[in-house]
Amino acid sequence: MGYNLSCMRTGVANLPLHAGRVPPWLFEKMTGLCSAVIEAIVVEYGPEEVLRRLSDPYWFQAFGCVLGFDWHSSGLTTTVCGAIKEALKEKGASCGLFVAGGKGGVSRKTPLEIREKAGFLDVDPEGLVYSSRLSAKIDSSCLQDGFQLYHHCFFFTKNGSWAVIQQGMNPDNRYARRYHWLGRGRLPVGRSFVCEPHSAVCSDKKGVILNMVADEGEAVRNASVELSHQGPDRLLRELKRIKTLNLPPRHHTLLEDINPERLRTIFISTYENLPQDFEALVSLRGVGAKTLRALALLSELIYGTPYSVKDPARFSFAHGGKDGHPYPVDRTRYEESIRFLSTVVERAKLGYRDKTLALKKLSGLLR
């Protein structure tokens, strides 16, 4: 069941929440520079390279700085994605690159905006809609890290390659966390949606969370699927019993807000649909954070399959700071960002009128 899409979550970034808006004059210039840089990359390397770069949290952060945004602000994510979307409104068809979604209510229009581009695509847009919806569900329900998604931007090409940049907010610690994904159409290779979908997770803060997509969570994922095939009355009975047990402290965050009776409708749905694997279970409508939390608890207590509480954060997101904050400058990454942007500009000078035009546009905006 599902679309068997090849994908990986390529990174996560933590950013302090900042209020305020970008001045209209600055956003206009950011949009123009976005347009010039993306055109230069597409002409030189193709639209898939744009997706690969956007899915790299280091490059995306550097790109935001190049555009003139605060390097450590949560607003960098929404503003840069908005500028890219605005830049590609007119040039998406010629570049072969499209953007759907955005912040708040706009994110809920992502499926509609993807389907509106069906005439430009060589693939079924429903596969892209599925990828958009499932990547959001993984980061909001399967990785329960305290960050509620409020921004979802979906980038895609006509051949079905895609990237996702989405962001969640934690009002308690005043931080936002950004998640990056990269997908490769329907090829049966690459990473799974539901087992270590990321190759790098970048964060300044780590915590104890419910991680249903950890590599060591295969047993609890399988057990959750098996439980979803059982009658709802048994599951509800076991949940009510769990609520009266004296459980270890680490179960506290899983038990709070779980109301067994409110899960009855969802358990009836899983019982009737009989999902064949964990991806199919997660993709069912109505199966969200509380359902997966309840199944994780039941899986451990009935089958003895412990769930992972490991936050997949591995390292900080930026190039570093001159004073060593949040850590010393990562020269290799810094030089890679400079080298890539320099290469785009220098190679645009060589040989082709369209590349020279892209360079002139970029140079004019910089001046």
- Give yes or no for residue 130 having a pLDDT over 50: yes
How distant, in Å, are the alpha carbons of 26, 45, 78 from that of 23? 5, 32, 14
pLDDT for res 244: 64
Token pair, residue 38, equals: 């993306």
- The helix/strand/coil state of 214 is coil
Percent of the chain with pLDDT over 70: 68
Is the separation of the CB atoms in 168 and 176 below 8 Å? yes
Average pLDDT for 57-63: 84
Per-residue model confidence as pLDDT tens digits over 304-320: 888 887 766 544 444 44
Alpha-carbon gap, residue 22 to 343, rounded angstroms: 29
Q: What type of residue is 150?
A: Y
Residue 310, beta-bridge partner list: 208
What is the rounded (10 degree) CA torsion for 20, 25, 31, 37?
A: -110
Percent of the chain with pLDDT over 90: 35
Residues 6+ apart with CB under 8 A from 203: 12, 13, 14, 177, 311, 313, 314, 315, 316, 317
- Give yes or no for residue 325 having a pLDDT over 50: no
Average pLDDT for 321-339: 57
Alpha-carbon gap, residue 341 to 188, rounded angstroms: 32
Residue closest to 245 by CA, chosen among 289, 296, 297: 297
- Give yes or no for residue 358 having a pLDDT over 60: no
Residue closest to 221 by CA, chosen among 305, 157, 346: 305
Alpha-carbon gap, residue 245 to 113, rounded angstroms: 48
329: how many CB neighbours lie within 10 A of its CB?
A: 14
pLDDT for res 118: 95
Please give the mean pLDDT across all residues of the chain: 78
Alpha helices, H only, the chain:
24-45, 47-54, 57-66, 75-95, 110-116, 125-137, 218-228, 232-242, 252-255, 264-273, 278-283, 289-298, 331-348, 353-366
Residue 208, beta-bridge partner list: 310
Token pair, residue 163, equals: 């990237």
Hunting for tokens 């049966």 — which residue is that?
A: 188
Of 245 and 101, the structure prediction assigns the larger pLDDT to 101
Average pLDDT for 196-210: 60
Alpha-carbon gap, residue 278 to 15, rounded angstroms: 31
Is the separation of the CB atoms in 146 and 170 below 8 Å? yes
pLDDT for res 98: 97
What is the rounded (10 degree) CA torsion for 213, 217, 218, 222?
A: -90
- Give yes or no for residue 76 having a pLDDT over 90: no
Of 47 and 67, the structure prediction assigns the larger pLDDT to 47
Maximum CA extent, the chain? 74
Per-residue model confidence as pLDDT tens digits over 132-174: 999 999 999 988 888 899 999 999 999 999 999 999 888 887 7
- Give yes or no for residue 25 having a pLDDT over 60: yes
pTM of the model: 0.78
Of 192 and 341, the structure prediction assigns the larger pLDDT to 192
Q: How far, in whole angstroms, is CA 75 from its chain's centroid?
A: 16
